[in-house]
Chain A
Amino acid sequence: MLFNSLLFLVFFTGVFCLHRLPLSWTFRKANLLVASYLFYAAWNPPFVLLLWWSTVVDWFVAKRLYSMSDAGRRRALLLVTLCSNLGLLGYFKYGGFLLQNFTVLMHALGIAYQPPAANIVLPVGISFYTFQSLSYTLDVYFRRSKPADSFLDFALYVGFFPQLVAGPIVRSRDFLPQCERPKPVTARELGIGASLLAFGLFEKVVLADWLLSPSADAVFNQVSAAGSMDAWMGTLAFSGQIFFDFSGYSMCAIGAAMCLGFHLPRNFHSPYASLGFSDFWRRWHISLSTWLRDYLYIPLGGNRGGETSAGINVMITMLIGGLWHGASWRFVVWGGLHGSYLVAERVFRQRRGLEAPAGASVARVVGALATFVVVTVTWTFFRAHTFGDAVTIIRSLVVPRASTILGAGSVWTIGIVTVLTLAGQWFLRDKDFEAELERVPWWAGSILLAGAILAIMVAPGDDRAFIYFQF
C-alpha cells in the first residue's frame, strides 16, 4: 500500500478513527498491529509470515538472552537471531545475486555450472524490519536495554505500519516506552503530523515523480544518446528525485505516526547542504547510518585501533551499507566510493588540520556545493542500469557532447528545482523543520498547505512506488 494512493487515504482514515475511539490502550495498540499487518499484506499476504517469524524469533531470543549469564550460550543464542534475520535477508534479497556470482566464478574456473532458475520475490521492506528487529536483540545482548514486557508492544515495534517498509529504522528504546501508556494526541501534534504527511506527499508526488523523475528516466534509459547537458541534468534530476522520494516517504511516515501519537526519529536533515562527506552521512538516511555505526562500525573496532584500522572499518561499513541498498555490484561500488571519500576526508582533516569552515563564509558555500556535486555524480552508480551505463554517463559529464534528449523545459525545471532545493536546505541546515513550520504565520502555513494539496491533486495520476521499497 503506497502513501501516495487513495487506498492509503481510506485505510489511514479508518485506522485513525478507530485509534481515536475511547477504548482501552491494549485494544488501540491491537488495532494498530492488525492495521500494520493489513498494510503489509497489501503487497503479498504470505510475506506477513516473514514479519511474524522475525518478530517471534527476536522476542524469544531477547528474553532468553536477558536472563542468561553464560557468555558462550549467549553468543550461541545471538547467532540464532543473526542467522534468522540475516538468513531471511540473504535468501530473499541476495539469493539470486549470490547464485549469479557463483555461476560466474564456476565458469571462470572452467566448470560449466548451470544453476536452476531462481525466481525469488523480494519481500518489500525486508531490509528495514530485519535490521530493526535485529537492533533490539543486539541491544539486549549488549545489555544496553531490557527486553519488552509485552509481546503486543514488541510486535507493534517491528511492524508499525508508517515506518514498516522504508524506515526510519527505529530503535526499541525510542519506540517501546511510547507503548507503555496512552498519551493523548494534541491538536499541535495532529496539525504538525498532518502537515508532514501533506508536505511529504508533495515531495514524492510533485517534486520527485512529476518534475524530476521523467527527465532522470529519459536520460538513464538511453545513456548512449546522452550529451553533456543531458548527463548533467539527468544526474541532477535523479539526485533530486531520490532525495524527495525518500525524504518524502520519511516525512509521511513521521507525520502519520505523529497523528497516531507516536514520535519517530528524523531521517533527513538537509543532506545537500552538507560540508563534507561525514557531514553528509550525519544528514542522509540518518537511521541507517547510525544503525551501521552502532552495530557494525563500532563493533568492528571503530576508530579505536588507529588511523589504518579506522579507515578499513569505514570501508567495510560503507561497502556493506552499499550492498544493503541492493543486490548488485553497482551498489557496492557506490558504497565503496562513499567509503573512500570518508577515508580521504579523515586523512585530510587529521594530517592537515582541515576543518569545516565556520560562519556563513563563501568557503562554506563552496564546500557544500562541492560535496553536493560529488554526491550527485556518485548517484550515477546507484541509478544506472549497468556499470557500462554509469561510465558512459560520467564520460558525458566530462567530455563535451551535443545534447539531444532533454528539451529546454526539462532543463529549466531541473535547474529551478535544484537551485530551490539547495537554497532551502542551506536555510534549514542548522534548523529543525518542525520548529520552522511553527514559526511561519498561521495563514501563510494555510497557503503553503493548500498549495501543496492542490499540486498533489493535479499531479499526473500514476501511483509510483517509492524507490527505497526495492531495498
Chain B
Amino acid sequence: MIAEPAGIRGEVLSVKRAGAYHHLTIRTPGIDPATRAGHFVAIAIGGPDPVRLARRSFWVFAVETGGLYGGTVEIVVEIRGAGTAWLAGLRTGHKVDLLGPLGKPFALPREPVSCLLVGDAYGSAPLFQLARGLIGRGCRVHMLLGAADEAHLLGALAAKRTAGSLGIATADGSAGVAGPVEVLLPDAFRQYGIEVAYACGPHPTLQAVAEAAAAYGAYSQCALEPRMGCGTGLCLSCVVELEERGRSRTVRGCVDGPVMAGDTVCWEYA
C-alpha cells in the first residue's frame, strides 16, 4: 500500500523534553493510515509569512490514525539551528504546516526472521515504530543504539522494553560501550544470526551496517538523512548516488528513499 501525502494544517498537542531532544506530538487530522516507519514529515518553519523557506524533515517517531484527534504524529526534534529551535519553542495550540507522510518507508520481511535495528542519536527515531511492526510479524528484534553521550541516546528505555536484546555505545563512554555504535556490529551479526539489518543515522553508521550486513550475508535497509529542502521531490537538493549492476544513477533521497537498500548506495558520494 502506497501512502498518499497531503498538506496538513497541524496543531501542537504537546512538547516534551527528553535528554537532548524535544518530542512534539502534533494533531494531524486526516493523515494517511498507511503511514509507516521510515516515512517522514516536512514542516514549514516560521508561520505564514516565512523568512526560512526550506522545510525541515523529521522521521515519524509514532503515528496514530483516527482516535480522539483524528490523527497524530510524534516527531523528535534536536536543535541544530534556527529552524529546529523555532519548532522546539512551539507550545500547545500552535499551528504547524506539515506535509506527510513522505518518502518510501522500511520494507518488512514476509517471514519471521531475525532483525537488527541500528540507530545513531536522532537517527534512532524511526526504529521504535519499525520494531513494533517487526514484532507484530513474529520477527526477533535486536537493537543497537549509539550517540555522542547519554543525553543524545534516543529511546534507550523503550528499546529495553521492546527489543529482544539491546546494545548501547556512546562516544564518551557515558552509557554502554565507549565508541561508535559500529563497534557492536560484528558480535550482533554473529550472535543473533541476523538476516535483515535496518539502520538510520549519519552516513558512517549506515555504511558500516551495510558493509557488515554484506559480510554476514544479510540484507540491509538504510534510512538516509541527506540535506533536504522540500521533502516533496521538487528542489533536487537531497540527491544520493546509487550503483546497481555496475551502473550508477543519481536519485532523490526524499521521494526515491529515504530508505535504500544498503548494498546499492555509493557512500563516498555525499
Q: Say if A and B assemble together.
A: no
> Which residues of A are interface residues toward B (Cβ below 8 A)?
none
> Which residues of B are interface residues toward A (Cβ below 8 A)?
none
